[in-house]
Structure 1
Amino acid sequence: MSRILKLLSSAPIANTGSVARDHLANERTFLAWTRTGLGFVALGVALAKLDALEALAPALKPDHGDLKIQSAALVGSGTGCLSYGTMRYFSSLRLLKKGLFRPNIAGIALVAATSGAVAGGGILMVVRTEKER
Structure 2
Amino acid sequence: MIREMLLQLRAKPLQNTGSVARDLLASERTFLAWARSGLGFIALGVALEKMEAFASISPQLLQLENKNTRTAAAVLVGSGSLCVAHGSQRYFASLSLMRQGLFQPNIVGVSLMAAICIGVAFAGTLLVLDNEGGRRKGKDFGLST
For normalisation by structure 1, the TM-score amounts to 0.93
Per-residue CA deviations over 1:53-77 (Å, capped at 9, x if unaligned) read: 4346724232453101110110000
Asked whether the equivalents of residues 66 and 130 of structure 2 are also in contact (C-alpha less than 8 Å), the reply is no
* Structure ID, larger Rg: 2
Match of 2:126 in 1: 124
| Range with bigger deviation, 33-42 or 52-61 | 52-61
Asked whether the equivalents of residues 66 and 131 of structure 2 are also in contact (C-alpha less than 8 Å), the reply is no
- Taking only the aligned residue pairs, the percentage that are identical comes to 49
**Runs (5+) with no aligned partner, structure 1:** none
Match of 2:51 in 1: 50
Matched pairs, number: 133
For the aligned residue pairs, the C-alpha RMSD in angstroms reads 1.5
Match of 2:72 in 1: 70
For normalisation by structure 2, the TM-score amounts to 0.85
Match of 2:115 in 1: 113
Question: In 2, distance between residues paired with 1:130 and 1:57?
Answer: 14
**Runs (5+) with no aligned partner, structure 2:** 137-145
Match of 1:12 in 2: 13
Match of 1:83 in 2: 85
